[in-house]
């Protein structure tokens, strides 16, 4: 394990040496060197360390100012997903009626089908009636 860390440090040192003007500025260049190291493909894995950690490709700083096809496609996908969720919510809200219970109302409780009953399909669908003792708003 230690050998892998030493090899990574050696590569980072080479990157920093190529980027820095004076040796005193190395700490200012370090974030850029790390970004370059983390977004370059490794031959051993065939992927970038960034994609292995986060599960997606890194968005390069230049892609933020000049959107690439990948970024544009991702934005369109997010918009399409948002529109789909909006349509699903609208369809759900159309079928569901809000129920407001008051104190002393009589209610039935639906029996969920995942509870095992020896009577099978002849088991009752509801339990109750129950009396509402306290009602909460919202």
Mean pLDDT by 10 residues, the chain (138 residues): 83 87 84 88 87 85 72 78 90 88 92 70 86 86
Structure tokens given for 70: 């990948």
Residue 122 per-residue DSSP state: G
Residue 109's pLDDT is: 92
Residues 3 and 50 in one domain: yes
C-alpha span between 121 and 100 (Å, rounded): 30
Residue 45 per-residue DSSP state: T
Residue 123's pLDDT is: 80
Domain containing 89 equals 59-97
Residues 31 and 69 in one domain: no
Residues 106 and 68 in one domain: no
Residue 30 per-residue DSSP state: H
Whether the model pTM is above 0.85: no
Residues 19 and 66 in one domain: no
Residues 11 and 48 in one domain: yes
Residues 89 and 103 in one domain: no
C-alpha span between 93 and 97 (Å, rounded): 8
Residues 31 and 16 in one domain: yes
Q: What are phi and psi of 43, to 5 degrees?
A: -70, -30
C-alpha span between 68 and 102 (Å, rounded): 56
Residue 131's pLDDT is: 95
Cβ contacts of 122 within 8 Å, gap of 6 or more: none
Residues 93 and 103 in one domain: no
Residues 75 and 107 in one domain: no
Residues 50 and 1 in one domain: yes
The number of domains in the chain is 3
Residues 76 and 114 in one domain: no
């Amino acid at each position: 394990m230690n050998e892998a860390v030493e090899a990574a440090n050696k590569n980072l040192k080479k990157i920093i040496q190529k980027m820095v003007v004076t040796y005193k500025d190395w700490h200012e260049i370090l974030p850029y060197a790390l970004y370059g190291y983390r977004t370059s493909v490794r031959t051993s894995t065939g992927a970038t360390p960034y994609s292995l950690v986060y599960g997606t490709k890194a968005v390069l700083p230049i892609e933020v100012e000049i959107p690439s096809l990948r970024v544009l496609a991702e934005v369109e996908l997010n918009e399409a997903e948002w529109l789909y969720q909006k349509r699903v919510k609208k369809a759900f809200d159309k079928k569901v009626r809000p129920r407001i219970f008051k104190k002393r109302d009589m209610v039935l409780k639906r029996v969920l089908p995942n509870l095992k009953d020896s009577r099978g399909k002849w088991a009752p669908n509801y339990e109750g009636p129950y009396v509402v003792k306290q009602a909460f708003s919202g």
